[in-house]
């Protein structure tokens, strides 16, 4: 990552005492970040932890953890992500399976007894990242003679997928691909990556967890641009809106569920007055939701499309495209990004399909896979002649009910047309006679009520009989992954317990 290292290192050392990251309404300087990076380097040098080494980290959203992430990636080491939101038993199992020679975490996570015991038992070098300026990185457990998998040369991140539809998988992302994606992002911001690094007064609001690829991408884009950051631990309407009022950004991002929460909270329009655009991703965006947000606040919602496997985004809307194609391409996730090719193929034959027909999406780009071959996704899509892309659902979560195929997104869209519904999710439940059947959980808007029988009657007028969920469950809140997608495995447990 020689180019990205040069840019970020240049930014961080321009004015060491300048404001870098605001966290819990307290500013932290660039010096505080470089102190963490330099402290880690000293420890790694003493323990012969060089480039290509696997370093596991519990990635909480804090300035000091952010510094550790940046330092590791620009020094060509591999970050193995550990999710702080995992239940302790799952985190312990993850530590045992990873066999990483180094584990770092904040004091908050080292206070988790079972996690600490598992990390120490692995004989890994265990490091506590400080939370206070001036405090050093602490060695909690010396490096021992453990059964480690140490080398990951060329890999920048071993990233956990969100686990939306099943057990999370760890995806190896090549360092050069991640670097290329961050540098390419400058195109959308009209920045020249070859210009001399400089600090900017603008503030980016970072609210996506670092345990999600979007959180890491956002962090690196912000720092490489020399912008200050307002870091939130996660998306919550109150702190998010307060940050907008405090820093007056022109653009922010949040998942579609965040848009729903803002609308449901009836946030006054003047509190979002600085915004000229609201970006969203990580989950499908209902175009009716985008329209409702625009009608309420006058702020265009620009969607992007990507995944952990793609090291981030591969398609998205620009403001110019919104102005010229917003109505005609309503519901699209935008145009393919520069340097990314897309095509739609027949699921069985693999033959490319004409524009406008639906099939499986395949992608090709220099930073995807080997950079030459087409990469097949599980997304059902269509494209048009202008390179706009529509994501219609996923081939791997279709529900087959007694031979009838149900696309969950079709059912979700029908549920969310009900004026009392804020959000819905549809999953498959096993059935001894039909194989599997659809079940739906839903949230109602503030001040609204909607009994399951009333919703079922509503859906019978809008869906075919086999599409109507056999179970409807009203919840106060959905179980979510770190990226704020609905966790289908956890939702299934709620149905099983109901």
Neighbours of 320 (CB within 10 A): 8
Task: Give the relative orientation of helices 213-224 and 2-12 as an angle to the nearest 10 degrees.
Answer: 60
| Domain end marker among 142, 158, 178 | 178
d(CA 407, CA 405): 7
Neighbours of 341 (CB within 10 A): 13
The parent domain of residue 491 ranges over 398-497
How many domains are there within the chain?
A: 2
d(CA 160, CA 139): 26
Q: Is residue 242 part of a domain?
A: no
- Residue from 92, 351, 67, 314 nearest 210 by CA: 67
Q: Is residue 247 part of a domain?
A: no
Cβ-contact 466, 404 below 8 angstroms: yes
Q: Is residue 249 part of a domain?
A: no
d(CA 241, CA 176): 36
Neighbours of 65 (CB within 10 A): 23
Q: How far is CA 356 from CA 232, 359, 383, 386, in A?
A: 40, 10, 6, 11
The Cα angle at residue 212 between residues 149 and 412, in degrees rounded to 5: 130
* pLDDT digits 0-9 by tens, 112-168: 999 999 999 999 999 999 999 889 999 999 999 999 999 999 999 998 776 555 566
- Residue from 417, 470, 484 nearest 441 by CA: 470
Q: Is residue 28 part of a domain?
A: yes
Rounded to 10 degrees, the C-alpha dihedral 70/22/185/263 comes to 130
CATH of the domain at 16: 3.40.50.12780
What is the greatest pairwise CA distance in the chain?
A: 69
Q: How far is CA 24 from CA 63, 136, 485, in A?
A: 10, 21, 24
d(CA 55, CA 129): 13
Q: Is residue 475 part of a domain?
A: yes
Q: In the chain, how many H helices and how many E strands?
A: 15, 25
CATH of the domain at 444: 3.30.300.30
Task: Name the pTM for this structure.
Answer: 0.83
Q: Is residue 45 part of a domain?
A: yes
Rounded to 10 degrees, the C-alpha dihedral 61/102/83/39 comes to 0
- Residue from 368, 442, 428 nearest 400 by CA: 428
CA 469 to chain centre: 29
Q: Is residue 51 part of a domain?
A: yes
| Domain end marker among 151, 178, 205 | 178
CA 452 to chain centre: 32
Q: Which residues contact 107 (CB under 8 A, 6 or more apart)?
A: 128, 131
Q: Is residue 147 part of a domain?
A: yes
Q: Which residues contact 325 (CB under 8 A, 6 or more apart)?
A: 332, 386, 388
| Domain end marker among 124, 157, 178 | 178
- Residue from 438, 430, 415, 423 nearest 475 by CA: 423
d(CA 132, CA 489): 37
211 has which bridge partners? none
* pLDDT digits 0-9 by tens, 418-474: 999 999 999 999 988 888 999 999 999 999 999 999 999 999 999 989 999 999 999
Q: Tens-of-pLDDT digits for all 498 residues of the chain? A: 688 999 999 999 999 999 999 999 999 999 999 999 999 999 999 999 999 999 999 999 999 999 999 999 999 999 999 999 888 888 999 999 999 999 999 999 999 999 999 999 999 999 999 999 889 999 999 999 999 999 999 999 998 776 555 566 788 998 988 888 888 777 667 788 888 889 999 999 999 999 888 899 999 999 999 999 999 999 999 999 999 999 999 999 998 889 999 999 999 999 999 999 999 987 778 899 999 999 999 999 999 998 766 766 789 999 999 999 999 999 999 999 888 899 999 988 999 999 999 999 999 987 777 778 898 888 899 999 999 999 988 777 788 898 788 889 889 999 999 999 999 999 999 988 888 999 999 999 999 999 999 999 999 999 989 999 999 999 999 998 877 889 989 999 999 998
């Amino acid at each position: 990552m020689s180019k990205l290292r040069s840019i970020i290192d240049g930014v961080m050392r321009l004015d060491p005492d300048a404001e870098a990251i605001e966290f819990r309404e307290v500013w932290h300087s660039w010096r505080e970040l470089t102190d963490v990076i330099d402290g880690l380097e000293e420890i790694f040098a003493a323990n012969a932890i060089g480039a290509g080494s696997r370093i596991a980290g519990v990635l909480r959203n804090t300035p000091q953890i952010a510094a550790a992430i940046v330092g590791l990636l620009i020094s060509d080491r591999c970050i193995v992500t550990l999710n702080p939101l995992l239940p302790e038993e799952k985190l312990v199992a993850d530590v045992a399976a990873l066999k990483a020679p180094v584990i770092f975490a904040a004091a908050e996570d080292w206070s988790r007894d079972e996690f600490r015991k598992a990390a120490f038992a692995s004989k890994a070098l265990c490091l506590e990242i400080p939370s206070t300026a001036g405090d050093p990185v602490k060695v909690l457990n010396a490096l021992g003679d453990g059964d480690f998998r140490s080398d990951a040369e060329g890999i920048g991140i071993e990233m956990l997928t969100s686990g939306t539809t099943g057990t999370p998988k760890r995806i190896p992302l090549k360092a050069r691909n991640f670097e290329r994606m961050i540098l390419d992002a400058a195109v959308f911001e009209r920045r020249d990556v070859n210009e001399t690094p400089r600090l900017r007064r603008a503030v980016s609001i970072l609210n996506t967890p670092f345990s999600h690829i979007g959180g890491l991408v956002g962090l690196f884009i912000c720092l490489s641009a020399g912008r200050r950051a307002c870091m939130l631990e996660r998306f919550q309407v109150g702190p998010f809106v307060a940050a907008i009022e405090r820093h007056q950004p022109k653009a922010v991002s949040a998942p579609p569920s965040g848009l729903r929460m803002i609308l449901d909270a009836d946030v006054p329009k003047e509190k979002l007055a600085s915004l000229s655009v609201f970006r969203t991703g990580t989950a499908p965006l209902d175009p009716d939701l985008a329209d409702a947000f625009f009608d309420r606040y006058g702020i265009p919602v620009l969607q992007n499309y990507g995944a952990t496997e793609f090291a981030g985004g591969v398609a998205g809307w620009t403001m110019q495209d919104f102005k010229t194609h917003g109505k005609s391409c309503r519901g699209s996730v935008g145009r393919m990004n520069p340097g990314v090719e897309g095509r739609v193929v027949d699921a069985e034959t693999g033959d490319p399909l004409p524009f406008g027909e639906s099939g499986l999406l395949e992608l090709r780009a220099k930073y995807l896979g080997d950079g030459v071959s087409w990469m097949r996704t599980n997304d059902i899509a269509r494209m048009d002649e202008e390179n706009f892309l529509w994501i219609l659902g996923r081939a791997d979560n279709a529900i087959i009910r007694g031979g009838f195929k149900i696309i969950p997104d079709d059912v979700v869209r029908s549920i969310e047309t009900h004026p009392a519904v804020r959000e819905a999710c549809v999953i498959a439940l096993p059935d001894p006679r039909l194989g599997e059947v659809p079940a739906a959980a839903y949230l109602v808007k503030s001040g609204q009520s909607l009994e399951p029988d009333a919703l079922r009657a509503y859906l019978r007028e809008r869906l075919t009989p086999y599409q109507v969920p056999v179970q409807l469950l009203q919840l106060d809140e959905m179980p979510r992954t770190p990226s704020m997608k609905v966790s289908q495995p956890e939702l299934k447990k709620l149905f099983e317990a109901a």
